[in-house]
């Protein structure tokens, strides 16, 4: 089967929604680590150890919440 592609250098057929859907897992993981990192940097600007701790604990919390939602909330 031959797949039709766009011309070289062309973005014909590219869609932001397809890109977002294809990268949803990466975007979600970046948010789960990025939000606690930003919060840690905001509240603990002088202490890098606390920034790291807040980031790790925040990521752990988001992972736990995601697990709980997938495991116990059924649609």
Q: What is the mean pLDDT of the chain?
A: 88
pLDDT digits (tens, 9 = 90+) for 7-63: 777 788 888 999 999 999 999 999 999 999 999 999 998 999 999 999 999 999 999
Contact 41/11 with Cβ under 8 angstroms? no
Residue 43 is encoded by which pair of tokens? 């509240």
Closest CA to 38 of 25, 54, 60, 61: 54
* Cβ proximity of 32 and 63 under 8 Å: yes
Exposure letters 8-23 (e unless 16+ CB within 10 A, then b): eeeeeeeeeeeeeeee
Global pTM value: 0.68
Domain ranges of the chain: 45-75
| pLDDT tens, position by position, 50-67 | 999 999 999 999 999 999
């Amino acid at each position: 089967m031959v797949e039709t592609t766009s011309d070289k250098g062309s973005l014909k057929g590219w869609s932001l929604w397809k890109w977002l859907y294809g990268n949803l897992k990466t975007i979600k993981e970046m948010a789960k680590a990025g939000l606690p990192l930003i919060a840690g940097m905001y509240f603990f600007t002088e202490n890098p150890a606390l920034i790291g701790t807040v980031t790790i604990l925040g990521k752990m919390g988001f992972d736990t919440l995601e697990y709980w939602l997938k495991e116990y909330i059924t649609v």
